[in-house]
Structure 1
Amino acid sequence: MSLVHHSISIHFVITLIKAAKRKGLDYELLLQKANLNPHMLTNSQLRITPNQFSKLMRELWIMGDDDFLGLAKQKCRHGVFTLMAKQAANCPNLESIFRHMCHFYNLITDSIRLDFKLEGDLAYLSMKVIDPGLDPDFSLHEFLMLVWHRFPSWLIGQHLPLKAILLTYEQPKHVGEYRLMYPCPASFAQDSNTLIFEARHLKMPVVQTSNALRSYLRRSPIDWFTRQAYYQVFTQRVVSYLENSEQLALTSMDDIAKQFHVTTRTLRRKLNDEGTRFQTLKDNVRRDTAIHYLSQPNVPIAQIARELGFSEPAAFTRAFKLWTGVSPKIYRASPKR
């Protein structure tokens, strides 16, 4: 069974469903198509799979015929991004991609304004949302800033390192999700929404083919939500080890320290310096693995418990309720019409 070892906060589902309701869309059908249920929206602790969130966003794009998810001054008809992407794939390098994106969106919509500039050794891609009051939870801000980074990175075939991201709104309660979204420090309450990176990267050539782009667009937006979390060095190494462990439940810090050729004390100190703990990382991997199994209705809960190393389903249920606030059975409850 193929797993993606991270999950997404239900916060983003809640904000998109609020937008769908404001637009009069059938939000129950949206949830059903994403294999989600309305009960989930009442518990802010819950997390879902990238696949579930991608299905929800894709259905919202189609149902509302709006790439801006009903959160902007005017619709951006579904398919506009595809048109921009096909043109961007013919650009020679990263700089021309950013300039093309700015010219394209500034030409076709009055909902956002994109600006690209160079100052010394740094490059800046900035976005202004013309009517931010229509995006009260800043979901469109977050999503578009993510896309402006990840799509160009895909075109050049490698992750574009960011120096910083600036955002115009106050730090949100779900700021912990930003390690999954942006590979850099985030600063809030700034004058603009801006990606900052070293100008030397701008000559990186476009390497993706038209065939690859067609496949990428068919999958979208799943690739934007399945990138690895942007952890610091030792945290990333520990998470990767846990994700690939065949006996996750039995893996200890001693085991990992031995594989890293350091003492357990040194590993603990390194993790503390990066602001995390081994048990927290292990619980998060087990939680996210459980969520991915539970998103597949044909996998029995008893089997999931065994896969995660629990002696009995009841022990798994207790742990899952501690992680998410609900039982596996309630989490998996099928959406009904």
Structure 2
Amino acid sequence: MTTAAAPPRGTGNTVSIELVKQSLQVAHRQGFHVPPLLERCGLPADILQQASGQRLPVARFAEFWRQLADFLQDEFCLMDSRAMRPGSFAFMCRIAARQPTLAEGIAAGLQFLSLVFDDMHAVLHREQNLAQIVFVENEPQPKRAFAYFTFWMYVHGLTCWLANQRIPILAIDSRCPPPELDEDYRVMFTHSLRYNCQQSRLLFVCDSLDSPIRRSEDELQRFIAESPDNIMVKYRDPHSLTSQVRQLLGAITPAAWPDAPAMAQQLCMSVATLRRRLAEEGQSFQAIKDSVRKARALQLLANEHETFVDIAAILGFADVSSFYKAFRKWTGIQPGFYRSTVLGQNS
């Protein structure tokens, strides 16, 4: 059996330095002098030339993000032809929080962003308890991935706060080609990312769209004061144990997946240590297996040539009915409904 080195301890929540480079791309192209900004944030002046494999703590990235928005006078890193002036995100939150229901709060936030931006417009669609936030794009060329995911960070972060719960994302489609590195997007948003699609959108299951928004002024002030750290909270180090286990499971078919003791042996640790360290990251071995299966199921359902029988077999289910039951448990919707929604948009 091939062994793998144990992942490093104590790395905490980090992001790739590539996200810093992406956020500076337009500013650098337009000739902004950024070394003083980088120095204030404790970042190297030659960061644009550094290897993308390096990482920095989320807290430092969030502080850099705040400083950059003030420096550029744009909370969207100059990625739209109109600036998102500092304070825009806070004002969007205030408008959304005053709406009666979650759906109306999301719609109000999106409408505000449509007034702020020239090029970035999105609307909320819903059918049953499947919701989609869909970009309305008239330009022939798509935005780069960083622009789409920055938009999603703001909108999804607001949505979760309004709902007072983490809203799991089913999938994100993007018109743009895949970026060179997207692991941070996968751990922040969802592992079900698709590129070169006809439409850019975020899909999520939410049966609480008609629920009332109950957020106090104090809660609003605290949320705004703690941003953007609090909308980056799902960032996790791709070298964490959870990511290591996901990568090992994703490399083999579910039918050949090891049990917990075998996985622990492969990672050169005891099963007790495996379970304890996963628990420290808020995970369990079974939850990771379910997550990997779900992500694979969503990818397979987006391929019209894969039958439900094929998908059930690929995912290691005894029969189609077992797959249906599991998918319903994971997402709250039937696989057929999800497939028709996805293929209806991307056909």
> TM class, shorter-chain normalised?
0.5 to 0.7
Deviation at 1:50, TM superposition (A): 0.8
**CA contact 1:72–1:131 (8 Å) conserved in 2:** no
What SS does structure 1 have at the residue aligned with 2:169? coil
**CA contact 2:173–2:197 (8 Å) conserved in 1:** yes
1:92 to 75, 95, 100: 100
Show structure 1 runs of 5+ residues with no match: 240-250, 261-266, 276-337
**CA contact 2:135–2:200 (8 Å) conserved in 1:** yes
1:109 to 117, 123, 147: 117
Aligned length: 253
Matched-pair identity in % = 21
User: What pairs with 1:1-337 in structure 2 (closer than 5 Å)?
Assistant: 5-41=12-48, 42-128=50-136, 137-227=144-234, 229=236, 235=242, 252-256=269-273
TM-score w.r.t. the length of structure 1 is: 0.65
- Kindly provide the amino acid, as one letter, of the partner of residue 118 in structure 1: R
Show structure 2 runs of 5+ residues with no match: 1-9, 247-267, 278-283, 293-347
Deviations 1:133-173 (A, max 9, x none): 695x4322111112211211012210112221111112222
Deviations 1:195-243 (A, max 9, x none): 1123523123323321122122122211122236499xx938989xxxx
Greater relative CO, 1 or 2 (CA 8 Å, sep 6+): 1
- Kindly provide the amino acid, as one letter, of the partner of residue 96 in structure 2: A
CA distance in 2 between partners of 1:4 and 1:202 (Å): 37
- Kindly provide the amino acid, as one letter, of the partner of residue 88 in structure 2: V
Relative to structure 1, is the Cα distance of residues 106 and 271 closer, same or farther in structure 2, using a 3 angstrom cutoff? closer
What SS does structure 2 have at the residue aligned with 1:179? helix
- Kindly provide the amino acid, as one letter, of the partner of residue 40 in structure 2: K
Relative to structure 1, is the Cα distance of residues 72 and 257 closer, same or farther in structure 2, using a 3 angstrom cutoff? closer
Instruction: Note the aligned Cα RMSD (angstroms).
Output: 3.4
CA distance in 1 between partners of 2:141 and 2:236 (Å): 30
**CA contact 1:125–1:195 (8 Å) conserved in 2:** yes
TM-score w.r.t. the length of structure 2 is: 0.63
CA distance in 2 between partners of 1:29 and 1:132 (Å): 37
**CA contact 1:165–1:187 (8 Å) conserved in 2:** yes
Relative to structure 1, is the Cα distance of residues 214 and 4 closer, same or farther in structure 2, using a 3 angstrom cutoff? farther
Deviations 1:8-45 (A, max 9, x none): 00111112222222233231122112211124432211
**CA contact 1:89–1:210 (8 Å) conserved in 2:** no
**CA contact 2:142–2:175 (8 Å) conserved in 1:** no
- Kindly provide the amino acid, as one letter, of the partner of residue 89 in structure 1: A
